[in-house]
Amino acid sequence: MNLFIIKLGGSAISDKSRPLSYREDWVRSLGNLLNARLRTGDRFILIHGGGSFAHPLALAYGLSKYRDYDQLVGISFTSAVLNYLSMRVTLTLASVGLPIYPLRTGGSIYIIKDGKPQLLIDPMHMIELISRGVIPMLYGDVVVSDEGFSIISGDDLMLDLGAKLRPSASIFLTDVPGILDTNGNVVRELTERSVINERDARHIDVTGGLMRKVRSAIELARYTRTYLCAIWDLGSISRIFNNEEPINCTRFLPD
């Protein structure tokens, strides 16, 4: 079985400079590709980010760090908006024929313990879902943590599930064709020693921005081929499914 874990980044499914903006066309085009691959036997687990649905709310209520009671209603709003986004992605993908099985990350699947994501269910449950033909889909969410509540990012979920399930490849999808160097060119291979700069971003990201993503991806590369591609670069994504190197995209390499 060829298993691929794919993160539909918040930047891939929403315009992070515009609150509550959903990129249905990009999601649908990716869905058509995944549907064709599913029929040839490839298997998928999807994770999506919060994008312009969750980050602005999480920032407004200071949810990266739990302090007091007044934040609890912010947890309700953020959870609701994430669930709503997850339903939108589910409906778009199901309407092109993909049997998405949406799972709510907070509540019963993940908590943060000793500062690290802790999976509350047996990882085999994911494999059992896949073997029944569906595509489990999780998302970055507000979860119970050591100090109260905290945010688990989709990138953290990629690392944790990738290390446990060892897929054929893990792919981070965003709105840009790879990690970009200071001239705007795609860095084709990236290790801990590579020097990259976060470009001036007009959007909000409460989960540590690009550097944190890059660190997670490099660590994930110890367990699985790991790439960052644009959601619209279907040619490159297909090549990764074929076990070939993509035309664009950044490949992360462990040190």
Ligand X SMILES: Nc1ncnc2c1ncn2[C@@H]1O[C@H](COP(=O)(O)OP(=O)(O)OP(=O)(O)O)[C@@H](O)[C@H]1O
Which residues of the chain form contacts with ligand X (CB under 6 A)?
Answer: 9-12, 16, 49-51, 55, 140, 154, 174-176, 179-180, 196-199, 201, 203, 205, 207, 210, 213
Euclidean distance between CA atoms 90 and 67, whole angstroms? 33
Nearest residue by C-beta to Mg ion? 205
Q: Please, which residues have CB within 8 angstroms of residue 54's CB and are 6 or more apart in sequence? A: 10, 78, 81, 82, 85, 140
Nearest to 162 by CA among 96, 252, 57: 252
C-beta of 70 vs 195, nearer to ligand X: 195
Count, residues in the chain: 255
Q: Pick from ligand X, Mg ion, none: which does 117 bind, CB < 5 to 8 A by kind? A: none
179 binds, among Mg ion, ligand X, none (CB under 5 to 8 A by kind): ligand X
- In the complex with Mg ion, the residue whose CB is nearer, 152 or 187, is 152
Angstrom distance (rounded) from CA 166 to CA 164: 6
Q: For Mg ion, which stretch binds (CB under 5 A), given 35-43, 173-181, 199-207, 245-253?
A: 199-207
Q: Determine, following the binding rule CB under 5 A, whether residue 205 of this chain makes contact with Mg ion.
A: yes
From CA 161, how far away is CA 130, in angstroms rounded?
14
Binding partner of residue 189 among Mg ion, ligand X, none, CB cut-off 5 to 8 Å per kind: none
Euclidean distance between CA atoms 241 and 236, whole angstroms: 9
Residues making contact with Mg ion (CB under 5 A): 205
